[in-house]
Amino acid sequence: MKKIYSKIESITGNVITVRATDVRYGDLAEIDTAFGTSLAEVIRLQEDLVSLQVFAGGRGISTGDTVRFLGHPMRVSFSENLLGRIFNGAGEPRDKGPTLRENLIPIGGPSVNPSKRIIPRRMIRTGIPMIDLFNTLVVSQKLPIFSVSGEPYNELLARIAMQAEVDIIILGGMGLKYDDYLYFKDTLENAGALSRTVMFVHTAADPVVECLMVPDISLAVAEQFALQGKDVLVLLTDMTNFADALKEIAITQEQVPSNRGYPGDLYSQLAARYEKAVDFDTAGSITILGVTTMPGDDVTHPVPDNTGYITEGQYYLKNGRIEPFGSLSRLKQQVNGKTRPDHRALMDGMIKLYAAYKDTLEKKAMGFMMSAWDMKLLKYGEKFEKEMMDLSVNIPLERALDLGWEILADCFEPEETGLRTELINQYWPKKRA
Amino acid sequence: MVGTKGTVIAVNGNMVGVRFEGIVSMNEVAYVIVKDKRLKSEVIRIRGNLCYLQVFEMTKGIAVGDPVEFSGDMLSVELGPGLLGQVFDGLQNPLPKLAEQAGYFLERGIYLDALPLDANWEFTPTAKVGDVVERGDTLGTVPEGAFTHRIMVPFNLYGQYTVKSIRPAGSYHVRETIAELEDVSGTVIPVALSFRWPVKRAVDCYEERLKPVEPLVTHVRLIDTFFPVARGGTYCIPGPFGAGKTVLQQITSRHADVDIVVIAACGERAGEVVETLKEFPELLDPKTGRSLMERTVIICNTSSMPVAAREASVYTAVTIAEYYRQMGLHVLLLADSTSRWAQAMREMSGRLEEIPGEEAFPAYLESVIAAFYERAGIVRLKDGKVGSVTIGGTVSPAGGNFEEPVTQATLKVVGAFHGLSRERSDARKYPAIHPLDSWSKYNGIIPREKVRYAHSFMARGSEVEQMMKVVGEEGTSLEDFIIYLKGNFLDSVYFQQNSFDPVDAAVSPERQKHVFALLLKILASQFNFSSKEEARTYFNRLRQKFLDYNGSEWKSQRFKEIEEEIMASVAERSQGLDPRAEKLLV
């Protein structure tokens, strides 16, 4: 029998302290309050003083409530029964299904040994030229969508999820608006994908501590599926809410804040989650697509900044388009050398010209006379934006490559493109009679 | 001998408070015993009979009252034959071996021998009984891959010793005694093929530290020609994420003209680390024709590994680099990224509740960074041979802002600065080293005045470009416009280099010199164009030819043909040379 403690020493925000012995760092406890039972996690030990983070929050907890230590860290039930189900951040059902108790696995486990990883090498086709052609998504990649509030980031996330060829989808929602939660649910349902989906959803109205558990619980489940040989796609939205939850809790704990109030270990905390993306050498894989909303469209804000140094690139969503500048898939060179010989050269060549177009736009805005070259760039930039960048374009990679050459041939002479002669000889569209 | 013992009294993140009895030293290694696991830790603060440990592992499951054992040793690495080709974590655990034992995940509390005991090395003695030796002197050699590995008197044996016995030539494993040394008081010390050295102390068994003057060829044009690195020097590559730091490091690790490369990934993306891990064994070293891995050591800490192990990794790496330097070899240490390392320091400092300095980094950040880079150097050993450690560190400044403390502290102590720019990487101009912001204090492969002349086109071209933004193209003189075009031309055919092109990825110094001479001639030529449009078209065509030229094999038929076409085209349009450049061209 586990001992029950009923003397709560202090309550600060979501953190309570009790005096107890024989408690291990990271263990769980249950607290019985007037509002029901909540889980709590040990986050600090100092002699016999134990600090606990209460999942359901500190509101309404009384000094007379009882605390019972469970003697193990946070766990989640893992089996095929998870598929099609929806849970909250503490692993309790959010749908009308039964609570799952079998085969409990720990969450937040150790890192994968880098020598057991394989080089990512499988492309994930999405039908979106700004991804497939310019920043190819690769199995096992960890990639955030950097976005401003108001952009259709959840729509983009859902569309990639629907079109990506994977076995299992796990959605981890953090601080989701209720409408957005329903949007994901409906979209996955309509596409007939719910049966291969597990959702762990924390909505904006739920206790903030539960938000922190969502990525760990989602990734622990993903890891088990991957070890069974499945290709798993984990969608995490929105990681900025996760970081803000970390900040909120660190400050209540009176930790020395680092950058803009975020805790000093923000980088490590984010990395511990994103690094779960993996392609196992003899099993399945985990691909992570997250959303990172950027307060004030500021990419130097600590959350996107730290994220950028951890993830293998990012899609930068702005004005409803994936921007070529700022967007990057670090793993694209693992796969785009094997698609078509013109892929890499065309990808760089078109962006170089698009950068020149942006300069010309600036000149135009200043009211300068446009040279013949400027006119060509203007034509090119407009075509590029309309025919390639628009998110509604849905074509396979090969068609996108052909389209790229058509746009170039429509606007420029071959030697103006900076592409090598041999490629031009092979791919430059013949003039239509 | 296990000395002092203690018990856990507090746990906070990866910091553990311990009450102890006996003697504890700063930076000593201790083990926290949790159930059946021993978690490696380092003492980072002592107060009375309390000390604080930073645990190199996850601290989940530690309880107040758990026992702690102190080892009496500082965090050390084992130095000896067999380091080359290995992949270690920051604490020198061989990761592939660990995978064999523990499977996919990095289980806590498993520490393996860095150098396998089942491998034997062919030892040939060079010292004789009766020889008087000092630390760092050679006792014998073993072959290790393409190198002759020196078995040296351990660096921690201060004073003079007489060789009392030495084993004959034969096959031994790393821990076997191969010699006995007697000190002045008559104490006999057995010496094996390997010994341990504390990572946070610089290896200093050399005669003299020299000035780094000889260029270290990286085969990256922009670096070797314009912003060179010297053997035994230091350089840093700061840049925002996505600007190409990692690709640049990978290219350098493959092509730099050194004997040995030590790569320290201090908290990097596992997906990129694994690329190096899996590709290196398959790539051939162009110099030796053997696997690239045979001259490489990788210290690999992905960003999700515990923070304290990340903090240790650069020290493990530099100690191994210094060890091979002591054999008269040239070693390049690439640290990616030192910001992750500095952030690890910040995290620890925060947990210790130290008063934070700028941007919450600890006040000692600068001195720690300086001390690390100062471990680079070119040295003359006691036997006259010269060895070097060159350190190249990437920096990942928050928000890509070079004003931040880590970049600034690094800039104070390095000899070359390769600043990457978001603007250039956005425009896919790779390597995205900014040619106007970067600098180097070292000598390169091409005389400075020639480089300066070429570089002036970049600087003036950029001024013209800025001016054009104000007055427009029509308000710019044809003469200025040509300078602008020449600057652009230099940028696109020389500064930019295609790291995925088999030929263009690595350019030999001979080819760089040859191509640079041709380029200089083009830059110095006075062209007579009738209009800006004509000038632009001309340079577009020339650029096209030059790109094809860069992509053709050195001295091949095609290379020569294109070169002739380029020269003919220049001769046809050139009206003579810039008088200021005439003497540069002879």
Count Cβ–Cβ pairs < 8 Å, chain A vs chain B: 235
In chain A, residues with a C-beta closer than 8 Å to the C-beta of B547 are 418, 420
pLDDT over 60 at B243, yes or no: yes
Task: For residue A276, give the nearest of B50, B271, B438, B440 by alpha carbon.
Answer: B271
Q: Would the CB atoms of B350 and A111 count as touching at under 8 Å? A: no
In chain B, residues with a C-beta closer than 8 Å to the C-beta of A113 are 95, 98-99, 102-106
In chain B, residues with a C-beta closer than 8 Å to the C-beta of A255 are 350
Peptide bond just before A238 cis, omega within 30 deg? yes
pLDDT at B1: 47
Residue B585: alpha-carbon gap to chain centroid:
36
Residues of chain A predicted below pLDDT 50? 1, 433
Chain B touched by A182 (CB under 8 Å)? no
Q: What is the C-alpha separation between A405 and A410, in angstroms, rounded?
A: 8
Residue whose token pair is 């970390």? A246
Residue whose token pair is 């910091």? B15
Chain A touched by B274 (CB under 8 Å)? yes
Q: What is the C-alpha separation between B234 and B236, in angstroms, rounded?
A: 7
Measured between its terminal Cα atoms, the distance across chain A in Å is 88
Q: Would the CB atoms of A255 and B544 count as touching at under 8 Å? A: no
Neighbours of B46 (CB within 10 A): 15
Q: Which of A187-201, B93-107, B419-433 comes out lowest in average pLDDT?
A: B93-107
pLDDT at A432: 52
Residue whose token pair is 């499945």? A230
Kindly report the three-state secondary structure assignment for every residue of chain A. Answer: CCCEECCEEEEECCEEEEECCCCECCEEEEEEECCEEEEEEEEEEECCEEEEEECCCCCCCCCCCEEEEEEEECEEECCHHHCCCEECCCCCECCCCCCCCCCEEECCCCCECHHHECCCCCEECCCCHHHHCCCCEECCCEEEEEECCCCCHHHHHHHHHHHCCCCEEEEEEEEECHHHHHHHHHHHHHCCCHHHEEEEEEECCCCHHHHHHHHHHHHHHHHHHHHCCCEEEEEEECHHHHHHHHHHHHHHCCCCECCCCCECCHHHHHHHHHCCCEEECCCCEEEEEEEEECHHHCCCCHHHHHHHHHCCEEEEEECCEECCCCCEECCHHHHCCCCCCCHHHHHHHHHHHHHHHHHHHHHHHCCCCCCHHHHHHHHHHHHHHHHHHECCCCCCHHHHHHHHHHHHHHHCCHHHCCCCHHHHHHHCCCCCC
Calculate the alpha carbon distances from A33 to A8, A58, A62, A247, B44 in Å: 12, 10, 7, 26, 41
pLDDT over 50 at B540, yes or no: yes
Query: pLDDT above 90 covers what percent of chain B?
Result: 73
Chain A touched by B275 (CB under 8 Å)? yes
Calculate the alpha carbon distances from B179 to B134, B163, B196 in Å: 14, 7, 16
- CA-nearest residue to B354 within chain A is A256
Q: Would the CB atoms of B274 and A268 count as touching at under 8 Å? A: no
Mutate to test the interface with B, among A105, A225, A266, A268 (most CBs of B within 10 A): A268
Collapsing DSSP to helix, strand or coil, B435 comes out as coil
pLDDT per residue over A215-247, tens digit each?
A: 999 999 999 999 999 999 999 999 999 999 999
B3 against A280, higher pLDDT: A280
Q: Would the CB atoms of A47 and B548 count as touching at under 8 Å? A: no
pLDDT at B158: 95
Q: Would the CB atoms of B271 and A140 count as touching at under 8 Å? A: yes
Can you read off the two tokens belonging to residue A129? 């030229």
pLDDT at B14: 85
Shortest distance, CA B570 to any CA of chain A (angstroms): 17
In chain A, residues with a C-beta closer than 8 Å to the C-beta of B87 are 114-115
- Amino acid residing at A408: L
pLDDT per residue over B178-218, tens digit each?
A: 999 999 999 999 999 999 999 999 999 999 999 999 999 99
Neighbours of A167 (CB within 10 A): 15
Chain B touched by A341 (CB under 8 Å)? no
Neighbours of A421 (CB within 10 A): 16
Shortest distance, CA B503 to any CA of chain A (angstroms): 14
At B411, which helix (H) or strand (E)?
helix B405-411
pLDDT per residue over B51-74, tens digit each?
A: 999 898 889 999 999 999 999 988
At B54, which helix (H) or strand (E)?
strand B50-55
pLDDT at A433: 42
Q: Would the CB atoms of A308 and B267 count as touching at under 8 Å? A: no
Q: Which residues of A, range 211-230, sit inside 8 Å of B by Cβ?
A: 227
Can you read off the two tokens belonging to residue A400? 């996108």
In chain B, residues with a C-beta closer than 8 Å to the C-beta of A21 are 64-65
Chain A touched by B307 (CB under 8 Å)? yes
Mutate to test the interface with A, among B274, B305, B341 (most CBs of A within 10 A): B274
Measured between its terminal Cα atoms, the distance across chain B in Å is 71
Peptide bond just before B337 cis, omega within 30 deg? yes
pLDDT at B426: 86
Asked whether A207 and A57 are in contact (CB, 8 A), the reply is yes
Mutate to test the interface with B, among A24, A113, A119, A253 (most CBs of B within 10 A): A113
Q: What is the C-alpha separation between A152 and B76, in angstroms, rounded?
A: 52
pLDDT per residue over B480-523, tens digit each?
A: 999 999 999 999 999 999 988 889 999 999 999 999 999 999 99
Q: What is the C-alpha separation between A145 and A157, in angstroms, rounded?
A: 8
Q: Would the CB atoms of A22 and B63 count as touching at under 8 Å? A: yes
Residue B289, sorted as left (phi over 0), alpha (psi -120 to 50) or beta, turns out to be left
Q: What is the pTM of this model?
A: 0.89
Chain B touched by A426 (CB under 8 Å)? no
Chain A touched by B346 (CB under 8 Å)? yes
Calculate the alpha carbon distances from B354 to A210, A255, A265, B16 in Å: 31, 11, 15, 16
Of B63, B340, B533, the CB nearest to A23: B63
Burial A311-335 (b: 16+ CB within 10 A, else e): bbbbbbbbeebbebbbbbbbbbebb
The pair phi, psi for residue B570, each rounded to 5°, is -70, -45
Q: What is the C-alpha separation between A97 and A85, in angstroms, rounded?
A: 7
pLDDT at B268: 72
Shortest distance, CA B183 to any CA of chain A (angstroms): 44
CA B219, B222, B225, B228 dihedral sign is negative
Q: What is the C-alpha separation between B212 and A269, in angstroms, rounded?
A: 41
**For the residues B353-377, what does the mean pLDDT come to?**
93
Shortest distance, CA A391 to any CA of chain B (angstroms): 20
Q: What is the C-alpha separation between B50 and B17, in angstroms, rounded?
A: 7
pLDDT over 90 at B351, yes or no: no
Average confidence score pLDDT of chain B: 92
- The pairing of strands A168-176 and A197-203 is parallel
Q: What is the C-alpha separation between B562 and B568, in angstroms, rounded?
A: 10
Residue whose token pair is 């760990």? A216
